[in-house]
Structure 1
C-alpha cells in the first residue's frame, strides 16, 4: 500500500515495522552465523555447548567427526529458528506496508508460534543427541547421554501455544473485518 494511502495514525507502526523487519533479518543472520560457526572452534564448543547440555566436567571428544555431528544436529533447531524469525520478519514487513490485520498475518503469527513451541519441545532431544555426539568417541565407560528439560523449554512451549492462539484470534478478526468491509 503506498504510504500516501496509509491511515496517518498508522505511520508510526509502518516506520517501526520497516525498522524491525531489517533488525530481524540482521539478528537472524547473526544467530545463524554464530550458531553454526561455534562448531568451527573446539574451544568454543567446550566452553559454550558442553556446559549447556549438561556435560560440564565430563570428558568429550572434540574431533572432526563429533564436531561435524554436532553441527548437523544443531542445524535442526537453527533451521526452526530461522523459519520462525523469517515469519516475524514478514509480519514486520506487513506492518511496514500498513497491513495490521489480515488472514496472512495471522497465519504467519501461528507459524512463528509453532516454531517457538517446536523449539521448546525439541530442546531436550537436541541436547541428548549432542551429548551422544560429543561423547561417542570416548572410551567405553566415559560415554554419556545428558537429558534435561529446563524452564526455558517449558516457557517456550507455552509462549508458542499462546502465539498460535493469538494468531487464531487474529485470523477470526481478519475474517470479521473483511466481512464488515464487504457491507460498505
Structure 2
C-alpha cells in the first residue's frame, strides 16, 4: 500500500473518530437528562405506554412526584451499562483520533465496551422490574405489582457483546504481537 493511501486512510479514521467521540460526549450528557425529563415531566402519558409496561395495559394517570422520581431512578439504573459503554466508546474513538488504532489500550476499551453490552442485555429485565415496582407502588391489591420484560433483543445484545469480546481479545493479541515484533527491529 502506498504511503499516500495510508495517510488518506489514517486521516479518515482520525476525522470519523473525532466526530464519533463528540457524539458519545453529547449522548453521555443528554441521556440522563432525557431519562429524567421523560420520567418526571411526561410520566402521565409516557410511562403507561413504556414498552416494558405495555403488556400491563395501565391506565394513563398522573404519577405522584415520588413515584416519577423512582421511575426515573429505575430507568437510570437500567441505562448505566449503556452509559458505561458510551464512556468506553468515547475513550476508544479519542484513542483512534490520536493514532492508537491497534494498541493494547484500544483492545481494553473494546473489551470493556463489549462487557457493557453484555450488562445492558441483563439490565433491561432488571430495569423493567424496577420500573414496574415504581409505577405500580400504589396499585390496588388485586392488580399487578411487578412485571419482568425479557426479549430476544436482550439476548441479541448479550450475544453481540460476546462476539465483540472475542474480537477485542484477538485485537489485544495482535497489538501484543506488533509490540513484540517492533522490539526486534
- TM-score bin (small chain): 0.7 to 0.9
2:85 is matched with: 84
Distance 1:47 1:148, change over 3 A: closer
Tell me, yes or no, if the aligned pair for 1:131 and 1:145 is still in contact at 8 Å. yes
Q: In 2, Cα distance between the equivalents of 1:171 and 1:53?
A: 41
2:3 is matched with: none
Tell me, yes or no, if the aligned pair for 1:101 and 1:170 is still in contact at 8 Å. yes
Q: In 1, Cα distance between the equivalents of 2:112 and 2:160?
A: 13
Task: For residue 44 of structure 1, report the CA deviation from its aligned partner.
Answer: 4.3
Q: In 2, Cα distance between the equivalents of 1:179 and 1:72?
A: 47
1:31 is matched with: 31
TM-score by length of 2: 0.87
Q: In 2, Cα distance between the equivalents of 1:44 and 1:178?
A: 56
Q: What are the equivalent positions in structure 2 for 1:103-114 lying under 5 Å apart?
A: 103-114=104-115
Q: In 1, Cα distance between the equivalents of 2:69 and 2:32?
A: 16
Query: Which of the pair has the greater relative contact order for Cα pairs under 8 Å at 6+ separation?
Result: 1
Q: In 2, Cα distance between the equivalents of 1:71 and 1:125?
A: 14
Q: What are the equivalent positions in structure 2 for 1:1-184 lying under 5 Å apart?
A: 8=7, 9-41=9-41, 42-46=43-47, 48-49=49-50, 51-59=51-59, 62-184=63-185
Q: In 2, Cα distance between the equivalents of 1:175 and 1:53?
A: 47
Structure 1 stretches (4+) deviating beyond 6 angstroms? none
Tell me, yes or no, if the aligned pair for 1:61 and 1:134 is still in contact at 8 Å. no
User: Which string of whole-angstrom CA distances, capped at 9 and with x for unpartnered residues, describes residues 139-168 of structure 1?
Assistant: 211233222211210111011111111111
Alignment gaps of 5+ in structure 1: 1-6
Q: In 1, Cα distance between the equivalents of 2:31 and 2:49?
A: 14
Q: How many residues align?
A: 177
Q: Tell me the SS of whatever aligns to 1:148.
A: coil
Does 140-149 or 100-109 show the bigger shift?
A: 140-149
